[in-house]
Amino acid sequence: MRKFSCDEARAHLSDALLAEIGRPEANVLEAHLLDCDPCRSLSELFLWQDRVITELAAQARLDTLMSKIREGIQNQSQVTFEEELQQRRRQWSWTFPTKGVAAAAAFILALIAVLYWRPTIPDPVAMLAPTPPPRPVEVQPEPPVRPVESVKPPEDPIPAPPIENPVQPPPVVAVDPPKATPDVATAPKVPAPVAPPKDPAPVRTRPPDVVAKVPVERKDVVLRPKTLDDAVRGGMAFLREQAARFVKDRETNAEELLLWTFIHGGVAEADPEFQGLLKSILTKPLERTYNVAIMAMVLEELDRVKYQNRIAQCAQFLVDNQCPNGQWSYGNPSIFVQDINLPPVPAKQKGLRKVPITRKRDGQGAGDNSNSHYAMLGLRACHDAGILLPRAVVEQASKWWRDSQSRTATVKGAPSAGGDGWCYGKHDHKPYGSMTVGGIGSLIICDYILGTDWKKDPQVASGMDWLAKNFSVAYNPGPYEHGNMEENSQHQVYYYLYGLERAATLYGTEQIGGHFWFAKGLQALIDAQKPDGSWRGGTGELKDTCFAILFLRKATRALVDVPTPGAGTPKK
Amino acid sequence: MSDNETRLLKAAQGGDPKAFERVLRPHLPMLFAYSRAICGDFHAAEDVVQETAQIAYRKLNFLIPEADFAGWLKAIARRQALAARRRLTKTSLVADDMIEKVYQDPSPASSGRRGEALTECIDSLEGRAAQAVKGHYFDGVKLNDLADRMGMTSVAMRQLLHRVRVVLLECVRRRLSAESPS
């Protein structure tokens, strides 16, 4: 698992207290704080500082706060015991018949099960054969470390009882002063992603046959359920073992995807394989849309200041490869990329340098929605890295996504009741999952770059409705057009799942249609992982494993700049 | 609970809103800071405090005389703040048990010598550090807006606030060690 050094943890601690930390970093930080007493003490001190300053701030606004509260309670009446009792009785009288019916149904089902159950006589030959365990599990003598964060019950915990033993503020402890932070003008957006692990050798989960051969008494061992970290560790071990194939195989040609997964999967930046991939993508010619888009994402994540020149080249490629209809195809090299050669950042430069890009040529006539939505991810990374994209490019892309959304509504222009999705192009057939998640993410990115609120965008909402209605983590919902229109196909299911993670994170929701998408996706991925740590869903085991890990690590950075409805506006 | 608080609570339970305001007022700064620590947003924390006050007023008859009023308020605020955090889709800031530990004592955190030292250190901040603290903590300006206003990137703003935390920590330590007998 990815780990922080104390310096990294302390740098992230402030971000955490500012609520400016991503989920993956928060998880790693939490794990660090569990183990590191000095950092834990420091976080308590920071929290206490925040408490003091915030209380002082509230003290200064006390009259304003009080007047709002006065308005709030003006028309309130207090509830008496009798009223509360009556209300509960009313609730009980409504719920009682439902509960009674449910109990009766359960009883009848149980009765049927008893009447019709016939014990199956086991095959004695089969019984003699060794039974392989159904799922790869690790035999762990120690108790589980930490439950998976994302499958915590979503409900509020019961209110804490009143505290009886107040204690003093946390004592000052001897902590090493954090190192001086780097110059803000040249500071990377994201610090080095990981500290070198103690044991750099990839950790493999024990294959199931090995587990089966271990003569253990089951009553003496604790079978630890597989966790998110186990799944990621297994997947990363598989990828690292296969990395050479990934790089050499011209067909897969996805070094950028591998590096993107390395970043999120916890491989240290100093790792020789990491460095090899980085060196390769920094020097290779820009030829293909997928590769260039993910390259921009990788470099922006690593250090958008240091790699701004290369990111600007990616932007030029993407802008020059936009098709006249607003889509992107697989792409062709643009000679104008070589014209991008930014001078070194001036010493007095404050903040991120803004680099304008202009369109020098058009891409081919039409493209596809798969390349197009990856191009949008790349453009988002360029935008975040200070590249000023031509507005017309984003508007044209936005127009394409809007025009190509399926329209099943009976009233022209109105969103349909079940929502509208996307397919691979602008065809007459039904939408499906992997393209719809791409379409939603792309429209959100367009809105984000153009400065509009995607939560008020009816076409984004319509896409989310489609996703809610057809929600699945087990298959790629809808008719898969590259597989004889097979409904709810397994084709590209992990490609779809990573798209689902992006759509939900970019939109900013933990639930889709009432489904906690991450918890469900996590369980589905844990269940589907192969004994060698890979996932296989029709896109090739290497890419599928990357997509699965990217989902598990929630690789998408949320768009934090846009307000959530209802938040940030004080009550009048 | 002091006699005065008990007396005011009794009056508030009898339907006197003014008594409720008086008994609530001393706890508001702690409630606000606690809510902000959980939900991670200045304005949402204000809403949480208002909602908490309304719920507490409506359900005041359920508070038994021996109960800890501040603890009861905190329990209500906690539920509201967690709901706000979910609405805002904020990542959990720090482990909840750490927040509980720091907010265990409901009396004002600025009381006591350490709190006073920190208050003095905050007052001694100058320039961009003072601007950042005022904007972020006192005015509730969103980080990106504050960065724009001060001509910085949001990353630089986060780093500045981190440095301010460290500076304040050192300042408090210096002041306390200067006072303690060697």
Give the model's pLDDT for residue A84: 65
* Interface list for A 73-92 with B (CB within 8 A): 73-74, 76-81, 84
Q: What is the pLDDT of residues B108-145, one digit of tens each?
A: 888 788 888 999 999 888 888 999 999 999 988 888 88
Interface test with B, best of A12, A55, A383 (most B CBs within 10 A): A55
- Name the residue with higher pLDDT: A365 or A340: A340
- Name the residue with higher pLDDT: A206 or A498: A498
Q: Which two tokens stand for residue A296?
A: 């921009």
Phi, psi of B171 (to 5 degrees): -60, -45
Whole-number Å distance between alpha carbons of A340 and A349: 19
Q: Kindly provide the ipTM of the predicted complex, given to two decimals.
A: 0.93
What residues in A contact B98, CB-CB < 8 Å?
Answer: 33, 40, 43-44, 47
Q: What is the pLDDT of residues A414-439, one digit of tens each?
A: 555 557 899 888 766 788 999 999 99
Query: Checking DSSP bridges between strand A387-388 and strand A355-356, what pairing results, if any?
Result: parallel
Q: Which two tokens stand for residue A316?
A: 């030029």
pLDDT-derived band at A197 (thresholds 50, 70, 90) equals very low
- Mean pLDDT throughout A240-266? 79
pLDDT-derived band at B94 (thresholds 50, 70, 90) equals low
Q: Which two tokens stand for residue A534?
A: 């890979």
pLDDT-derived band at A62 (thresholds 50, 70, 90) equals confident
Which amino acid does the sequence have at B151? Answer: G
Q: What is the pLDDT of residues B65-80, one digit of tens each?
A: 677 888 889 999 998 9
What residues in A contact B68, CB-CB < 8 Å?
Answer: 162-164
Of A33, A55, A178, which is closest to B33 when you measure between CB atoms? A55
Give the model's pLDDT for residue A399: 93
pLDDT for residue A442 is more than 50: yes
* Interface list for A 518-547 with B (CB within 8 A): none
Interface test with B, best of A13, A46, A56, A152 (most B CBs within 10 A): A56
Nearest residue of A to residue B154, measured between CA atoms? A351
Q: Is the dihedral of CA A430, A432, A435, A438 positive or negative?
A: positive
- Name the residue with higher pLDDT: A67 or A159: A67
Q: Lowest-confidence range among A28-42, A115-129, A555-569?
A: A115-129
Compute the C-alpha angle A96/A98/A100, nearest 5°: 70
Q: What is the pLDDT of residues A269-316, one digit of tens each?
A: 888 889 989 998 999 899 899 999 999 999 999 988 889 999 999 999
pLDDT for residue A350 is more than 80: no
Q: What is the pLDDT of residues A131-143, one digit of tens each?
A: 333 333 333 333 3
pLDDT for residue A124 is more than 80: no
Are B134 and A56 contacting, i.e. CB atoms less than 8 angstroms apart?
Answer: no
pLDDT for residue A219 is more than 50: no
Give the model's pLDDT for residue B155: 85
| CA nearest to A379, candidates A401, A402, A357, A361 | A357
Give the model's pLDDT for residue A416: 58
Domains of chain B: 3-102 (1.10.1740.10), 113-179 (1.10.10.10)
Average pLDDT, chain B: 85
